[in-house]
Amino acid sequence: MIAFAVLFLLALYLYKNGLSWNGKEIFKRDAGLAHESALVEDLVKRDTDGDGVLDWEENLLGLDPTKTETTPGAPDITVVNSLRAEAGSVQQGGSSLNSADYEENLTETDKFAREFFSTVGALNQSGTMDQATVDKLSGSLAEHIKNSTPRKIFTLADIKVSSGDDFQSIQNYNDALNNVFGKYSLSYTAIDVFQKFIGDGNTINAGALTELDPIILQLNQKIDGLVKMEVPQSVALLHLDFINGLEKVAENLSDIRFFETDVIVALTGISQYETSINSLNLATQNLFNAISKKLSN
């Protein structure tokens, strides 16, 4: 599982950032992921042996892209169509889904898989891919993924900033906060769910992740309540940091829920969760320290 994750993380890094070897640009971010003069789209469509099975898919399935029969007597196309049928990607009667339908049904993991195996296949042929390169890029990507931009960032325009900033305004605001958070409570936390998910360390209980759904729902309800309340101007920026902290945690948990269907998305959520929680805790502490100080004056 770890090796599988590293391979996909490497693919994501190449896709997002671009890369050079020996001063020569191998991957071009602006033009799309590219190997030398070939875009990934071209590599994805490559079928070296002309058997109707694309090279990236043959690499993914352990078949030889230079032979129509990796195992003598068993055409690669027959093997792949059998696997596609089992996965539901071949229509009744044996005809393949058209490319538009196929593309629409691809998860982020599917897309990175085909791009990764297409590109690495080309790099292996040219002798530019080695273990040191994989290790270095894997580490670089881990840092990149941890610092990726949130999908939603609230601004001052999204909240109701009040001109009132006296003791009563702060007290009313504090009461409103307590009201929002007093409405929602669960008997377990995300950490409890993760412990069930990990189990004894030998097996993964992916079904346990469904218990994240009520937590995600409550986080979104709290965010909605925080956006709607009136906020004294003196704590508006702290309030905003608090909302964005909750939003990032909610996004991470939502991404982790995709563990069974889209591992790339889930790995992003897993890698960012601890940092997001730490940021949320800091935002919470800053906000409530400011409230306490104003109410004690």
pLDDT tens by residue, 23-56: 333 333 343 334 444 444 565 577 888 988 877 6
Reduced to 3 states, what is the DSSP secondary structure of residue 124? helix
Residues of the chain above pLDDT 90, percent: 35
Which of these ranges, 46-50, 197-201, 243-247, 290-294, has the smallest mean pLDDT? 197-201
Report the SS3 class of residue 162: strand
How confident is the model at residue 286, as a pLDDT? Answer: 96
Measured CA to CA, the distance from residue 9 to residue 116 in angstroms comes to 10
The answer to whether position 260 is within a domain reads yes
Other CB atoms within 10 A of residue 57 CB: 20
Same domain, 104 and 208: no
Domain end call among 146, 170, 187: 146
Residues 22 and 142 in one domain: yes
Residues 97 and 183 both lie in one domain: no
Please tell me whether residues 188 and 169 are part of one structural domain.
yes
Inter-residue long-range contacts of 243-247, CB under 8 Å, 24+ positions, other chains counted: 243/154, 243/159, 244/150, 244/153, 244/154, 244/283, 245/276, 245/279, 245/280, 245/282, 245/283, 245/284, 246/219, 246/222, 246/280, 247/150, 247/152, 247/153, 247/154, 247/223
Q: Report if residue 7 sits inside a domain.
A: yes
Residue 249 domain-assigned?
yes
Extract the tokens encoding 297: 């004056």
- Do 205 and 248 lie in one domain? The reply is yes
Query: Residues 269, 238: one domain?
Result: yes
| pLDDT tens-digit map of 181-222 | 888 778 899 989 988 888 776 677 888 999 999 999 999 999
Q: Within this chain, do residues 137 and 239 fall inside the same structural domain, yes or no?
A: no
Q: What percent of the chain has pLDDT over 70?
A: 60
Average pLDDT over residues 243-270: 86
State the residue range of the domain holding 113: 2-146
Q: Are residues 142 and 41 in the same domain?
A: yes
Measured between alpha carbons, how far is 9 from 109 in angstroms, rounded to an integer?
Answer: 10
Of 104-108, 118-122, 249-253, the poorest mean pLDDT is in 118-122
DSSP letter assigned to residue 71: B
Residue that finishes a domain, picked among 98, 123, 146? 146
| Report for 17-21, 106-110, 143-147, 186-190: range of highest mean pLDDT | 186-190
pLDDT of residue 225: 95
Q: Are residues 27 and 134 in the same domain?
A: yes
> Which stretches of the chain are assigned E, i.e. beta strand?
19-21, 24-27, 34-35, 38-39, 160-162, 230-232
Prediction pTM value: 0.61
Instruction: Please report whether residue 163 resides in a domain.
Output: yes
151, part of any domain = no
Instruction: Give the confidence band of 110 by pLDDT, cuts at 50, 70, 90.
Output: low
pLDDT higher than threshold 90 for residue 18: no
Shared domain check, 179 and 133: no
Question: Looking at 146, 177, 211, which one is the last position of a domain?
Answer: 146
The reply to whether 166 and 111 lie within a common domain is no
Looking at the domain assignment, is residue 173 inside a domain? yes
CA–CA separation, 251 vs 230, rounded Å? 25
Do residues 12 and 129 both lie within one domain?
Answer: yes
Q: What is the mean pLDDT of residues 70-86?
A: 84
| Residue 272: predicted pLDDT | 84
**Domain tally for the chain?**
2
